[in-house]
Structure 1
Amino acid sequence: MRVAFALSLLVALLSGCASHSDKSPDGTWINQAAIDAAGQGGNLRQALLAYGPNLEWNINTKAGQATASNGFELSEGKIASNADGKLRVDFYGNASDELTIKGDELVQRASDTGPEQHFRSPKEAPPAGAQPGTSFERALYTAYLGGKWTIVNGEGQGSAVEFLPDGSVSGLPGNDRYALCLAGDCAAMSGEYDSMWLEKNERGNPWIFVRNGKQLELFQAVNNAQATEMPDLRPGEQRWVLEKN
């Protein structure tokens, strides 16, 4: 009986290992660690920088293509090799990344340009025709701003506000769309401050925000730069204070 049990256990272990190694890397993978860190309700950019720079991978081994998104730029690469459960993705300019499936994760090996990173399949599939980076963005928006908020100070005090994962917002006076700044030019312009874009009918402006747990403060963005310089956005007058229910 002991021999039979040992053999059955060995078979189970071997089959489990085989199933992991045979898992396809194809599809979308998001940086769940960065999302979880942001979901703690602190500084958004710090959370993304701590677990970035890549926020999403999209892999198509049949086409021999892979793309990586950092929340601003999209890097398109060619799969140069796919053996022993490891993918090597080559990018223009002699840069490359090595990806490996380990259990339920896609692991990007540490390199001269960045640390080891871990990615997971998104809980929800992206909408048909969605641009690369959409899955990460929607999951981040849900974790960081999802749920019901109440305006406790500012125009519309007492009103309920809801930020939806598709970038729409309801209940915030004068606005129907929003976008969190994840990286790139908007991050360079706001420096150490978090910023978001708010608009209505496709017309809007950048805003500085401060998230502290269940409280969200929104400030008008004041540009301290000269007309010939890149904008240097800093918090101006406080416009709203929201609290999460």
Structure 2
Amino acid sequence: MRKALALSLLAIFLGGCASNPADRDISGTWINQVAIDAAAKGGPLREALQAYGPNLEWDINTKAGQARYTNGFENVDGKLLGEKSGAWKIDFYGGSASELSRDGKRLLQVANDSEPEQVFHPAQGTVPEGAPIGASFERALYSAYMGGSWKVVNGPGEGNTVQFQADGQVSGLPGSDRYALCLAGDCASMSGGNDNIWLQQNGQGNTWIFARKGKQLEIFQTINTAQADEMPSFTPGNRQWLLEKQ
């Protein structure tokens, strides 16, 4: 009798754990780590983002009923309608909606008519207070894709060691102290499918096209083929630098 009672109590306890609301709570910042891991293999950045995106980061506060996401171009705010059977529905202004669910340490965005299923993981580390949505994804991507030490094999500063920091700082690359990778939007449209990077020094900079092949990174000057009254259309010009990851 005592053994049966103990088993019954154990079953109730385990059942309570399995249905713990905390296991389904989706509050926090979630980033598209799958896209970052794909890019970190050393291929084209745009291909990785398009294959596993388009969304890059979710920021969710279930207590306040707020959910927002960014795809690198748009920042979209939505209203969290609540959780039912493990799924959370988000309503966006304009009539569109998304559905999210938690699978252990993963956040799943359910596929719909306009977007495929996407997978997100909790953001690691911190970003400066007041940083815009997408900053956690950006820092993780910069660290994985551009991190480490690079050597200038050919171009200005040949022999220099170049380091791209997660916060957008760069050292060792002549004429540059900051950089930004193009993730989506106009900067991507203007480059005709090529990856591009913004390099600047003392607040002044330019767009460059780059090509990543494993441990090699080529950075090219840009040629604008558009007319003066048209949106810029960049194609690769002369190669400025060839970097090799150490």
TM-score by structure 2 length? Answer: 0.92
Aligned to 1:231: 232
Q: How many residues align?
A: 244
Does 1:182 find its partner at 2:177? no
Query: 5+ unaligned residues in a row in structure 2: which ranges?
Result: none
Aligned to 1:147: 148
Does 1:241 find its partner at 2:242? yes
Change (3 A) 1:8 1:172: farther
Quick one: distance in 1 between partners of 2:100 and 2:129?
26
Q: Deviation string for 1:152-203 (max 9, x for gaps)? A: 0001000000000101101100000000000000000001100010000110
Partner SS state of residue 99, structure 2: strand
- Paired residues of 1:56 and 1:133 also in contact (CA < 8 A): yes
Q: Deviation string for 1:14-49 (max 9, x for gaps)? A: 466335863421110000100000001000000000
Quick one: distance in 2 between partners of 1:221 and 1:63?
46
Quick one: distance in 2 between partners of 1:8 and 1:160?
63
Quick one: distance in 1 between partners of 2:40 and 2:81?
36
Does 1:33 find its partner at 2:34? yes
Quick one: distance in 2 between partners of 1:172 and 1:85?
49
RMSD: 2.2
Aligned to 1:171: 172
TM-score by structure 1 length? Answer: 0.93
- Paired residues of 2:88 and 2:99 also in contact (CA < 8 A): yes
Change (3 A) 1:113 1:155: same
- Paired residues of 2:198 and 2:206 also in contact (CA < 8 A): yes
Identity over the aligned pairs, expressed in percent?
A: 55
Partner SS state of residue 110, structure 1: coil
Post-superposition, which runs of at least 4 consecutive aligned residues in structure 1 deviate over 6 A?
6-13
Q: Deviation string for 1:42-65 (max 9, x for gaps)? A: 000000000011110000112211
Query: 5+ unaligned residues in a row in structure 1: which ranges?
Result: none
Does 1:44 find its partner at 2:42? no
Higher mean alpha-carbon deviation, 120-129 vs 141-150, is at 120-129
Aligned to 2:111: 110
Q: Deviation string for 1:69-119 (max 9, x for gaps)? A: 001110111112233332111112110000111111111000011001110
Q: Which amino acid aligns with 1:124?
A: G
Change (3 A) 1:18 1:82: closer
